[in-house]
């Protein structure tokens, strides 16, 4: 499955990377997703998995071996 890579530099300069599946990319569009991710709109940390949620969709970060949509 093709995945889109999103990069986000936090305020403390820790680089967060997330991989987003094709279904989510098609739903929003990659440029919109990147803007949402970078601005932290609709983005939140999920403590259980260490992944990211964007508009309720699960993303897989570099540190997380879970699955993405």
Q: How far is Cα 24 from Cα 6, in angstroms, rounded to an integer?
A: 12
Question: Is 21 contained in some domain?
Answer: yes
Looking at residue 46, its pLDDT comes to 46
Question: Is 11 contained in some domain?
Answer: yes
Question: Is 32 contained in some domain?
Answer: yes
**pLDDT averaged over 10-residue windows placed end to end, the chain, 69 residues:** 59 60 74 69 47 57 40
Looking at residue 17, its pLDDT comes to 63
Q: Count up the domains in the chain and report the number.
A: 1
Question: Is 67 contained in some domain?
Answer: no
Question: Is 69 contained in some domain?
Answer: no
Q: How far is Cα 44 from Cα 26, in angstroms, rounded to an integer?
A: 21
Q: What is the DSSP letter of 21?
A: E
Give me 31's structure tokens: 């440029």
Domain range enclosing 47:
3-61
Question: Is 66 contained in some domain?
Answer: no
């Amino acid at each position: 499955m093709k995945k889109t890579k999103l990069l986000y530099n936090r305020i403390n300069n820790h680089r967060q990377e997330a991989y987003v599946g094709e279904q989510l990319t098609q739903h929003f569009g990659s440029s919109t997703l990147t803007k949402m991710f970078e601005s932290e709109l609709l983005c939140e940390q999920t403590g259980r998995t260490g992944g990211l949620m964007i508009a309720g969709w699960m993303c897989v970060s570099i540190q997380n071996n879970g699955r993405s949509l």
